[in-house]
Amino acid sequence: MLELWADGAAKSALVEFAARAVDSVAPEERVAVFDNDGTLWCEKPAYIQLDFLVRRIAEQVARDPALATEQPYTAAASGDLGWFGDAVTKHYDGDDSDLKLLAKAVLSANATITTEEHAARVNAFFADAKHPTLGRPYTACGYAPMIELLRYLESFGFTNYIVSGGGRDFMRPVTTSMYGVPPERVIGSSVGLIFQNGELLTTAQPEFLNDGPVKPVRIWARVGRRPIFAAGNSNGDIEMLQYTAAGSGPSLALLVHHDDAEREFAYDAGAESALQHVEKAGWTRASMRDDWKTVFSD
């Protein structure tokens, strides 16, 4: 029973919540939603998907060197992952100037291929790529205590969903093997698709940026139920946690706090507002340093 969680307030809150849910919530209403980046797997020094996209953008620069005169192609050609991470941090601070440049390049990076071809590119990336500082395969960068929590909630009849700002079709090829969450229960950002000659093809047109207030909208659109459990780690998860906590029955909003510089990373950037909500809203804070006996599974 949550053996990877240290005894403390966070573990007690999880155990007590699961017991309340079994006593008073019908099984079909036991819906749990989890953010992915920084909640289920590592997001520093840059998002895992950014590494995938930077490699693809760098391939485009190699074919057309003239692209390297502008961002984000300049950063991709030089391997400057910091620029990409800063663009996302600036977004959470209200400045989308770099994010717009990034979005334009990202949307065109894997356009006009079949969904199967896209999945093959993702699988090829995960087969070889490793975390730049931890030295672990990205598929081994899932947080063991959170994966244990997924199984724990399932044992109480919960249905788990991943609700992430990351790309839906980037996550789907690995969520079953990493988390035991099948692709039909992955809600993420997406590009538009078109049907042509018996195939679904990607486009360079955005469909959804699944972040902030969009998350509750997409949860309802896909699930048709209000979650009673939600886990996140950043400002982009605030509305999802609020939506969950505002239900009439038992609920739990969990915020993962990255405060373990020794075993992972310590940072509050991009989570400042979310951390302030913990006390004000009565959410549960999970300290990586104090509440997790381990971070990654060996």
Whether residues 152 and 226 share a domain: the answer is yes
Residue of 180, 146, 156 whose CA lies nearest to 11: 146
Q: What is the DSSP secondary-structure string of 240-268?
A: HHHHHHTSSS--EEEEEE-B-TTTS-B--
Whether residues 141 and 273 share a domain: the answer is yes
Of 90, 109, 128, which one is at a domain's C-terminal end?
109
Residue 296 is predicted with a pLDDT of 98
Q: What is the pLDDT of residues 36-70, one digit of tens each?
A: 999 999 999 889 998 898 888 888 889 889 988 88
Higher pLDDT, 224 or 100: 224
Whether residues 89 and 27 share a domain: the answer is no
CA trace torsion 137, 143, 168, 159 (10° rounding): 140
Asked whether residue 261 carries a pLDDT value surpassing 90, the answer given is yes
Whether residues 93 and 158 share a domain: the answer is no
Q: What is the pLDDT of residues 126-183, one digit of tens each?
A: 999 999 999 999 999 999 999 999 999 999 999 999 999 999 999 999 999 999 999 9
Whether residues 217 and 263 share a domain: the answer is yes
Amino acid at position 222, single letter? R
Q: How confident is the model at residue 93 (pLDDT cuts 50, 70, 90)?
A: confident
Strand, helix or coil for residue 26: coil
Whether residues 61 and 141 share a domain: the answer is no
CATH of the domain at 22: 3.40.50.1000
- If one counts the domains in the chain, the total is 2
Of 67, 92, 109, which one is at a domain's C-terminal end?
109
**CB-based contact 286:255 (threshold 8 Å):** yes
Tokens of residue 153, six digits: 């909630």
Whether residues 152 and 272 share a domain: the answer is yes
Of 92, 109, 126, which one is at a domain's C-terminal end?
109
What's the pTM value of the predicted model, to 2 decimals? 0.93
Whether residues 56 and 166 share a domain: the answer is no
Identify whether 72 is preceded by a cis peptide bond (ω within 30 of 0): yes
Domain of 149? 9-41+136-291
**CB-based contact 41:178 (threshold 8 Å):** yes
Q: How confident is the model at residue 111 (pLDDT cuts 50, 70, 90)?
A: confident
Distance CA 86, CA 181 (A): 30
Asked whether residue 298 carries a pLDDT value surpassing 90, the answer given is no
- Residue 133: strand pairing partners: none
Tokens of residue 139, six digits: 């598929």
Q: Is residue 170 part of a domain?
A: yes
Whether residues 72 and 31 share a domain: the answer is no
Residues above pLDDT 90, as percent of the chain: 77
Whether residues 86 and 25 share a domain: the answer is no
